[in-house]
Amino acid sequence: MNIFKFFIRVFYILFLVFGFAFAHPIDPRYHTYGEMVDEMVSAVQRYPHICQLYTIGYTSFFHLPILAMKISDNPSLTEDEPRFLFNGVHHATEIIGVEVCLYMMHNLLSRYDTSPEVRAWIDSNEIYLVPMVNPDGHYINWNVVQDSWRKNAKDNNGNGIFDPWYDGVDLNRNYDFLWHLGDPNPSSREYRGLFPFSENETQAIRDLANRERFVFDICYHSDKDPRFGESVYYPWRWGNQYSPDYEHIRPIAESIAYRIINDMGSAPYTPIWGDATDGGLARNWLYYAIGTFPFTIEISTCYQPPGYRVDSICEKVMNGSYYLFKRILGPSITGHITDAVSGLPIPAEIRILEAYAPPETILPRYADSTFGRYRRILKPGYYTLQITAPGYETTQIESVGVSTSGPTRLDIQLQPIPGIKEEKIAKEPNVINSLVFPNFVKGKAKIHWQVKKPGRVILQVFNNSGKKVCTIFDDVLKPGEYVLDWDCRDKKGKRLSAGIYFLCLKHSPGLPQAVQKIVISPPQAD
C-alpha cells in the first residue's frame, strides 16, 4: 500500500469515528432495515392469505435483499386486476417513506376483516409495497453519515471502501428517461451513474414495473426545502409542452394533494407538474415507458420529521394515497383485446388519439400479454381508439363515451391479416431459434438464428400494414448459428422511422416463414 492510500484510509477511519460521534441521531421511532424486514415477515406470517413477500433484487454494495410485499386476496396468483405500486427511500435520507409504506401495510392488512371498503380494495386489486428501494444508502444514512446521505453506496472508485465524498449513485437520477441530462460527476449528490439502470436497485424497480405494468404509482419522498415539501408531483412539463395525458393525470394529482393536510394543519398539499428534463427520474420513466400514472409525494418540510409526528403524518398521507383505490373505479376505458378467430389474448398497441404522442415522447401503450387487458385512465368525454398489432387489421373505434359513473368496458376483437402473422419457429425443420433482441430497439438489434440445412435465408422488414419496407439479408447459408447486428437501416443506409415493424425470416426449400414484432424507438442522445 503506498503512502497516499495509507493516509486516505486513516482519514476515512477518522471520518467514520468522529463523524458518527457528532452526527445527528436518528429518532428510534424510525425503522432500521432489519426492523423493517422483521415487520414484513411477521405480517406475512399473520396474514398469509392476503399477502406475500418477494425479493425483487439485491443492492449494489452490501447485496441486501430489496423486499416487495404483494397484498391481494390471492397473493400467489396473477389475476386480471389493476396493479398499484407504493415505494419509499429512493433517497437514503428520506426515511419517512419506509414508515408510510409500513403504516399502509399494517393499516390494510389489519382492517381486511373489519372494513368492507378495505376488503374490496384488496379483493379487486394487486397492491405492491416496496418500503425501502435503497437499503444500502439507508444503512449509510443510519450508521455513517446520519441525516444527510442521499445516494446508494456504489463503490464508484473501486477501492473497496465507502468514500462519502465520491461514492454512491442517486437512484432517482438513474432511470432511462432523459438520463443524459443528469449530473455526470460522481462526487455530486445527484450523480446519475455510469449508464441508465446501472444500479441493482433501479433494475429491480424496472423489472417489477415491466412485469406488473402498474396503473398507478406513488413514490414517497421528503424535502427540507419548504418550496418543494408538502407537494404532489406528476408528469410533466417538457419545455412548453405538457405530457400527453396531462388533462387526465392532473385532476388525480389534485385529488391526492387536496386530501393531505400539511403539518401545520393550515392547508392541503400542493399539486405541481414535474419537469421532464430532470433527467433519470423514476416518475418520468414509469410514465414514459410503462404508461403508469405516477406521483411523487414530498412529505413534510424536513427529511426526517420528529418521531412523535410520524404516525400523524402517515395517517394524513393515507388519505391521499387511498384515493387511487377509488379513482380506479372512476372514468376510464378498459377491456380485453383478442384474436377474432382463436379468442386468444393479443398484446396489441392501443392509442387514444386525443392523448397520443409518438415514441420519442412516450413509448406505445399495450394490452398485457396474459389477459389481453388494456386500461386507460381518462376524464369524462368522447374518444377515438386505434388498435394495432402485427399480423392484424388495424381497428379504429370512434366516439367512445367515458362518463363520470365508472369505467367504460369495451372488448375488442382483431381480424388476422391473411398470409402474415407472428409465429414461433422452433419446430421448423430448417430454421430454429430466431430471436430479435432487444424487442424495443433504440440503437441496434441483435438477430440470431440457426440453420439446420443448407439453403437461402431471407430477412425482410414489414411495416404495421403488412407492406415490405426493406430486405436486410439475402444469402445462401450453411448449417450453423448466425448473428446479425442490425442498426435499423435499410440497404440505402437510411434509418427506419420510429414505430412498430415485424421481421420476416424465410428459408428455402419451401420458404417457411416466421415473423417477430419489433418496436423501433428514436435513439437517445448520449
Residues ≥6 apart with Cβ < 8 Å to 369: 345, 347
How many helices (DSSP H) and strands (DSSP E) are in the chain? 10, 24
Q: How big is the chain, counted in residues?
A: 526
- Three-state SS letters, 187-225: CCCCECCCCCCCCHHHHHHHHHHHHHCCCEEEEEEECCC
Q: Is 448 left (phi over 0), alpha (psi -120 to 50) or beta?
A: beta
d(Cα 246, Cα 248) in Å, to the nearest integer?
5
Q: Measure CA 45 to chain center.
A: 29
Active site residue: 298, 393, 423, 428, which one? 298
Q: Measure CA 498 to chain center.
A: 22
Strands 455-463 and 513-520, by their bridges, are: unpaired
The set of cell numbers assigned to 119 is 376488503
- For cell 425482410, the residue is 460
Are 462 and 501 a contacting pair, CB within 8 Å?
Answer: yes
251 by DSSP, 3-state: which?
Answer: helix
Single-letter amino acid, residue 416: P
d(Cα 20, Cα 235) in Å, to the nearest integer?
39
The set of cell numbers assigned to 142 is 443510519
| 481 included as an active-site residue | no
Give me the active site residues, please: 298
